[in-house]
């Protein structure tokens, strides 16, 4: 090039199923004017995507994350799951079943049609027994298991349950009950409605319980490295028991809306029995135990020297409605006492200092790294949600801020990953590099932090009959404003907090008409509706 000369270079990167499609696209975008037009279209797509939920609160960092960066990461994660990144090659990895279901949660309000298609696609990887493939490959439409699957317990205890949570979220957001009637094939080739697929989820867990009456963990549960399988095939997960309880409540609600009274009664009765069993056999006095190994020995108890208390069975005890209010406060107080650190809440305490064959991969990492007592960011929003349910908004927001990317600029030399994107984990305080983050971008943290912030802290969450308003905010917030698109209407919600409370609604006005309920009706009229909420 000559001095002061400028040139425009078009670089094209993309994925297509057929080479002929690639050739056509390349030819089309050799024209720089067409590229400019596409950039404008791209801007319009992102503007439309980001306008579905806009928050204006007294915390500017929170606003930046919730309005731009978190939803941006949620869409990226929805598109790619854990398939390929700087940390994963994608070869043989596929899209995770549990990952992909969770990724739908935070984009459903803005990409409902794509979520619909993803849910149908995921249901096709389910077996007639109710279990599912752990991973699937979207380009070829086939599921598979990873190479670390246990051949004698060829399932993951939690995988299939996530489908109920994802479908329930979709139904509440869209009101589209017709999806439940859609016919979908099982892996074996037979065909049933999506509703029947959900019922098979429950059947599989119900049919696969251990000596304590808790669901068998299989190869593992949410924690892929907690591998309790052995010759007795008796490893049990209390976390999955709690997820099962919540899934039963969710599917019970769906059955009621689907006019299936017998199913509703069945699911609620099963939920009551599991709740009773958890509180009888998994309550350890100050918190809930995590699991039972293949020999029936407890994990996550005061009787253990290492791994005494785990985070997930405390947050899920509250989230799943297993714990009483007193138990919920006790177990979350124990989380604060033993697991809370300067950079987030760690998975458990104390860390394992040597390898325990009966526990598997969880004890192969150095203390404070990955699943061995690191700050696994994915689990922190569950604790935030639990604190919101308990009405402790200040604690929930404190936990939110500790792993928030925007707070990491001050410790960039320690944190080391992007200060606008959530990471999979932050090294725990048992490790010499405490505070260093790893595996950014493709993580379930993105979806769950979005849900914790929007649905629980700001307290605006979808339900079958409308939007629920139930804030759990920092007491020092005077007011905040949210614009929320919901079923072809726009809700402009202003919440004022004159008494500086964390929780509680005194009155709600909708278009200047006062109502007693905190459930906003569905308008579906394409108009904007002004909601005034006073806490008290």
Residues annotated as catalytic (active site), given as ranges: 224
Nearest to 457 by CA among 182, 65, 12: 65
H or E stretch covering 167: helix 161-174
Is the torsion defined by CA of 282, 284, 290, 293 positive or negative? negative
Cβ-proximal residues to 24 (8 Å cutoff; 6+ apart), any chain: none
| Ranges assigned E (strand) in 91-180 | 95-96, 135-137, 142-144
- DSSP lists the bridge partners of residue 375 as 426
DSSP secondary structure string, 243-287? HHHHHHHHHHHHHHHTT-HHHHHHHHHHHHHHHHHHHHHTB-SSS
Q: Which two tokens stand for residue 475?
A: 């007491």
Coil, strand or helix at 466: strand
CA pair distance 422, 376, nearest whole angstrom? 11
CA pair distance 369, 435, nearest whole angstrom? 11
Beta strands 236-237 and 309-310 are: unpaired
Beta strands 423-426 and 437-440 are: antiparallel
Contact of 523 with 508, CB cutoff 8 Å = no
């Amino acid at each position: 090039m000559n001095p002061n000369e400028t040139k425009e270079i078009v670089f094209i990167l993309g994925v297509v199923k057929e080479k002929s499609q690639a050739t056509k696209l390349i030819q089309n975008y050799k024209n720089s004017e067409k590229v400019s037009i596409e950039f404008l279209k791209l801007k319009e797509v992102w503007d439309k995507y980001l306008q579905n939920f806009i928050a204006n609160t007294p915390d500017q960092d929170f606003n930046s994350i919730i309005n731009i960066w978190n939803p941006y990461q949620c869409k990226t994660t929805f598109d790619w799951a854990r398939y390929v990144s700087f940390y994963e090659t994608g070869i043989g990895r596929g899209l995770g079943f549990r990952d992909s279901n969770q990724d739908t949660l935070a984009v459903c309000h803005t990409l409902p049609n794509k979520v619909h298609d993803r849910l149908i696609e995921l249901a096709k990887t389910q077996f007639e027994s109710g279990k599912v493939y752990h991973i699937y490959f979207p380009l070829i439409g086939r599921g598979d298991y990873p190479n670390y699957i246990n051949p004698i317990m060829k399932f993951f205890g939690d995988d299939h349950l996530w489908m109920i949570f994802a479908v329930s979220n979709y139904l509440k957001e869209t009101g589209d009950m017709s999806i439940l009637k859609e016919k979908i094939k099982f892996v074996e080739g037979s065909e049933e409605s999506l509703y029947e697929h959900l019922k098979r989820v429950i059947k599989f867990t119900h049919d696969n319980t251990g000596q304590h009456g808790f669901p068998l963990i299989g190869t593992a549960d949410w924690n892929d490295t907690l591998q309790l399988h052995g010759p007795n095939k008796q490893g049990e997960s209390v976390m999955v028991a709690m997820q099962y309880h919540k899934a039963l409540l969710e599917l019970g609600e769906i059955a009621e809306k689907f006019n299936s009274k017998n199913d509703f009664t069945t699911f609620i009765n099963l939920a009551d029995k599991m709740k009773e069993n958890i509180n009888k056999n998994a309550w350890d006095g100050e918190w809930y135990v995590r699991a039972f190994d293949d020999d029936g020995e407890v994990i996550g108890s005061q009787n253990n020297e290492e791994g005494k208390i785990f985070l997930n069975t405390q947050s899920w005890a509250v989230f799943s409605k297993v714990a009483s209010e007193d138990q919920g406060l006790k177990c979350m107080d124990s989380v604060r006492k033993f697991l809370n650190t300067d950079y987030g809440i760690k998975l458990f305490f104390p860390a394992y200092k040597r390898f325990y064959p009966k526990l598997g991969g969880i004890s192969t990492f150095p203390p404070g790294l990955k699943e061995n007592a690191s700050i696994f960011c994915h689990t922190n929003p569950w604790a935030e949600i639990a604190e919101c349910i308990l009405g402790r908004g200040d604690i929930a927001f404190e936990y939110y801020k500790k792993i928030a990317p925007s707070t990491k600029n001050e410790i960039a030399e320690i944190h080391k990953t992007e200060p606008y994107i959530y990471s999979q984990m932050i090294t725990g305080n048992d490790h010499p590099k405490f505070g260093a983050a790893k595996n950014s971008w493709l993580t379930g943290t993105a979806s769950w932090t979005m849900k914790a912030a929007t649905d629980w802290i700001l307290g605006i969450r979808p339900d079958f009959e409308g939007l629920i308003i139930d804030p759990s905010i920092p007491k020092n917030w005077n007011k905040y404003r949210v614009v929320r698109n919901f079923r072809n209407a726009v809700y402009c919600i202003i919440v004022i907090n004159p008494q500086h409370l964390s929780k509680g609604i005194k009155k709600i006005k909708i278009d200047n008409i006062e109502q007693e309920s905190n459930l906003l009706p569905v308008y579906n009229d394409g108009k904007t509706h002004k909601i005034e909420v006073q806490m008290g």
